[in-house]
Amino acid sequence: MPDGDTRNVLEVNNLRTVFGTRSGEVHAVNSVSFHVKPGELLGVVGESGSGKSVTMMSLIGLLPSPPADVREGEVLLDGEDLLKVTPDRLRDVRGGEVGFIFQDPMTSLNPVFTVGYQIMEPVRRHMGLNKKQAKARAIELLELVGIPGAAGRLSDYPHQFSGGMRQRVMIAIALACDPKVLIADEPTTALDVTIQAQILEIVEDLRAKLGMAIIWITHDLGVIAGIADRVAVMYAGQIVEHAPVFPLFNDPRHPYTRALLKTIPTVSGERAAKLQVIEGQPPMLGAAPTACPFRDRCPLVFDRCHAENPLRADVGDGHDVACFHPLAHTAKEAVA
Amino acid sequence: MTRPLVKVRDLKMHFPIYAGLLRRQVGAVKAVDGVSFDILEGETLGLVGESGCGKSTCGRAVLRLYDITDGEITVDGRAIGSEDQRSLRKMRPTMQMVFQDPQACLNPRMTVGSIIGEPLVEHTAMSKAERTDKVRDLMDKVGLNAAFINRYPHEFSGGQRQRIGIARALALNPKFIVCDEPIAALDVSIQAQVVNLLEELQDSLGLTYLFISHDLSMVRHIADRVAVMYLGKVVELAPRDALYDEPLHPYTEALLSAVPEPDPAKAGQKRDRIVLQGDVPSPANPPEGCNFCTRCPRVMDVCTRLDPEFREVKPGHWAACHLHD
């Protein structure tokens, strides 16, 4: 947990992103707000299509427009609204102040440039180092992420690295300019568990060393439990629950979070005879939400859920939940 | 004691590597290198391992989707290891497969009805009306609305597409189904639906599964016995609880400890996590001795010289490791 420094390095308020498609609009992100402090790791969980990646890409203008359109909201990086700055300034931010690790290490490196070149590129662009300094920095970075024989591997091409190694290179690139905020978009999803364990270890280590804020997107609740300080659960383009990591797992309030935690089997403890399922499918996001997006799959659904979209309401200790049902606000998980 | 439905003995599947001007064979990728196991009737054998360890190849080789390099396979009392593909066709109805990617394994130009009905056209003499009835019945069984029979695969979600794949595999009343990572491409909440469906079908139809997955927690849920593969070899094979409670092979141990627990309290105290160093060696050039010796935290001298034998360490619990010699 961060100590002392309570200023938010990144604050997002009411972000709304809409895609225009031939068959109408898709409201991928609906009024999403969150913040991170320096040294803090915010986990964002949700199923595919819940808008996790789109939210993060909206922050630093990585979505092509059209079709994407960031309609509303503000993204404050140290008080500066990134949605209003010039394209030039945004280029300085990307890779400089905000690092981004993409999901697929296989395709997010350029196959025709050497790994060394790709690491040196942001360093020279953002930090103004000359070739020699940039090279020294690149070697330092590769050593930092645990690639053996770093100096010798700078002139290698991405295909000469394995998946886990490539993801380390991606992390090295994202860290190249000492970003204030690191956004990691499912960085371990494409990797095996043993390699994932290596990457998680590196990230823990780097966070302690460098003290940046990290936003970690994943659909794996196990990963989140291990590394996050706070967790935001996304469903259908909205944050439905947000809490520090312990209350989220021990005292989940939103019916979706509760159900999600029950659907996953574990490698230890009791083995259930049958897996709990969440019936049905996530909703289509054809229009701005006018009712609770989880209503069709919710065991606690009642009249009000069909009429209004719940807003996130505080239930104490930095825990908030977007649900009308009184059980979400008072009781522990007994009935749900 | 139920009899083994599937017997695999010393299965080898090597893919040749050709290189040079004359495309001479310069080596082989030993994707599956001497694997033996039995699958009892009505049970689920889980096959786990990291990507590239040969688990999918193993599953496909058992069904003879490849011409295997060496070894014996017996399915339902019939040796199919060296049979040619033509005479195997008659055998195909008893053994079927559910593929990993529900997007790629369904022909986008065929309707759901014709996809599920295709095996019936190939292998039975049913009339068109009988086929339609059977297809509707199958769709019903896997929880798809039979009214969607004339729709195309792209109109379905991932979980529903996987159900189509399962219905197709069930069409010929098979006894044995190889499920090759059937849930890897699905979301957590949908995974549970598909796994429950597979279990229900097993109970009602008495199916036998080879369930290939890299998700150890899901395998713990569905499998009766579990085999762990590493670099083309099965390193440990045991009943589920024995394997998860006391793994005998260091690789299994490391693999289990690497699975993140969805519980922050456990994650905090779990400092005894074993993090393996390095990557899996190339199956074209496996290390001498034990395949795992390059990453094993408990490596001994003998491991770099001798390949450990796969033997029964405890009743029903097999492992290939010098620690248990």
pLDDT of residue B268: 54
Q: A138-160: per-residue pLDDT in tens?
A: 998 888 887 888 888 889 998 88
Residues A264, A131 share a domain: no
Residues A56, A187 share a domain: yes
- Count of domains observed in chain A: 2
pLDDT of residue B273: 72
Residues A272, A222 share a domain: no
Q: Is position A15 within any domain?
A: yes
On chain A, the residues whose CB falls within 8 A of the CB of B257 are 197
pLDDT of residue B223: 92
pLDDT of residue A171: 87
Contacts of A329-335 with CB under 8 Å at 24 or more apart are A329/A253, A332/A251, A333/A251, A333/A252, A333/A258
- Residue B99's nearest CA partner among B187, B8, B185 is B185
pLDDT of residue A268: 75
Burial class (CB in 10 A: 0-12, 13-18, 19+), A64: exposed
Interchain CB distance below 8 Å, A225 and B256: no
Q: How far is CA A188 from the centre of its chain?
A: 12
Residues A270, A215 share a domain: no
Q: Which residues contact A226 (CB under 8 A, 6 or more apart)?
A: A200, B260, B261, B264, B267, B270
Structure tokens that stand for B226 in this block: 């579990």
Asked if B160 and B148 touch (Cβ cutoff 8 Å), the reply is no
pLDDT of residue A1: 45
Residue type for position B172? L
Q: B301-324: per-residue pLDDT in tens?
A: 888 888 898 989 999 899 999 988
Return the minimum-mean-pLDDT range out of A208-217, A266-275, B123-132.
Answer: A266-275
On chain A, the residues whose CB falls within 8 A of the CB of B260 are 196, 200, 220, 222-223, 225-226
Q: Is position A1 within any domain?
A: no
Residue with tokens 């009737």: B41
Please say which residue of A235, A267, A298 terminates a domain: A235
Asked if B29 and B23 touch (Cβ cutoff 8 Å), the reply is no
Return the minimum-mean-pLDDT range out of A98-112, B7-21, B161-175.
Answer: A98-112
Structure tokens that stand for B71 in this block: 């070894």
Residues A149, A31 share a domain: yes
- The DSSP line for B97-127 is EE-S-TTTSS-TTS-HHHHHHHHHHHH----
The answer, yes or no, to whether residue A165 has pLDDT greater than 50, is yes
The answer, yes or no, to whether residue A117 has pLDDT greater than 50, is yes
Asked if B19 and B185 touch (Cβ cutoff 8 Å), the reply is no
Residues A121, A29 share a domain: yes
Mean pLDDT computed over A265-287: 77
- Residue B240's nearest CA partner among B226, B228, B251 is B226
Q: How confident is the model at residue B261 (pLDDT cuts 50, 70, 90)?
A: confident
Please say which residue of A179, A202, A235 terminates a domain: A235
Query: Which structural domain, as residue segments, surrounds residue A201?
Result: 10-235
Residue with tokens 């312990």: A246
Residues A161, A74 share a domain: yes
CATH topology of domain B4-324: Rossmann fold (3.40.50)
Q: Residue A319 phi/psi, 5° resolution?
A: -105, 125
The answer, yes or no, to whether residue B125 has pLDDT greater than 50, is yes
The span from the CA of B13 to the CA of B67, in Å, is: 8
Identify which has the larger pLDDT, B51 or A233.
A233
Please say which residue of A204, A235, A266 terminates a domain: A235
pLDDT of residue A331: 64
Residue with tokens 């029950």: A262
Q: Which residues contact B63 (CB under 8 A, 6 or more apart)?
A: B95, B97, B178
E strands, B159-214, in order:
176-180, 208-213
pLDDT of residue B267: 59
pLDDT of residue A336: 42
Residues A146, A197 share a domain: yes
Neighbours of A117 (CB within 10 A): 16
pLDDT of residue B175: 92
Query: Which of helix, strand or coil describes residue B237?
Result: strand
Q: B59-85: per-residue pLDDT in tens?
A: 999 999 989 999 999 998 888 888 888
pLDDT of residue A299: 85
Task: Compute the radius of gyration of chain A from its Cα atoms.
Answer: 21
The answer, yes or no, to whether residue B177 has pLDDT greater than 90, is yes
The partner residue sitting opposite B217, judged by closest CB among A225, A259, A266, is: A266
Q: How confident is the model at residue A189 (pLDDT cuts 50, 70, 90)?
A: confident
Interchain CB distance below 8 Å, B258 and A194: yes
**Sign of the torsion formed by the C-alpha atoms of A10, A15, A20 and A21:** positive
The span from the CA of B260 to the CA of A328, in Å, is: 27
The answer, yes or no, to whether residue A2 has pLDDT greater than 50, is no
Interchain CB distance below 8 Å, B196 and A275: yes
Query: What average pLDDT is seen over chain A?
Result: 85
The span from the CA of B190 to the CA of B163, in Å, is: 11
On chain A, the residues whose CB falls within 8 A of the CB of B194 are none
Q: Is position A202 within any domain?
A: yes
- On whether any CB of chain B is under 8 Å from the CB of A219, the answer is yes
Q: Is position A203 within any domain?
A: yes
Q: A20-42: per-residue pLDDT in tens?
A: 888 888 888 888 999 998 889 99
The answer, yes or no, to whether residue A6 has pLDDT greater than 80, is no
Q: A121-136: per-residue pLDDT in tens?
A: 888 888 888 999 999 9
Q: Is position A212 within any domain?
A: yes
Q: Is position A241 within any domain?
A: no
Residues A229, A304 share a domain: no
Q: A241-262: per-residue pLDDT in tens?
A: 999 988 888 888 898 988 888 8
pLDDT of residue B111: 94
Chain B interface with A: residues with Cβ < 8 Å: 50-51, 157, 159, 187-193, 195-196, 199, 214, 216-218, 220-221, 244, 254-267, 270, 273, 275-277, 279
Instruction: Indicate which of B157, B188, B199 best probes the interface with A, i.e. most A CBs within 10 Å of its own CB.
Output: B188
Interchain CB distance below 8 Å, A194 and B263: no
Q: Is position A305 within any domain?
A: yes
Structure tokens that stand for A66 in this block: 């059209």
The answer, yes or no, to whether residue B221 has pLDDT greater than 60, is yes
Asked if B174 and B94 touch (Cβ cutoff 8 Å), the reply is yes
The answer, yes or no, to whether residue A334 has pLDDT greater than 60, is no
The span from the CA of B162 to the CA of A195, in Å, is: 28
Burial class (CB in 10 A: 0-12, 13-18, 19+), B198: buried
Q: Is position A74 within any domain?
A: yes
ipTM: 0.76
Say how many CA atoms lie within 13 Å of A196 toward its Cβ: 27
Pairing status of strand B44-48 against strand B208-213: parallel
Mean pLDDT computed over B96-104: 86
pLDDT of residue B120: 93
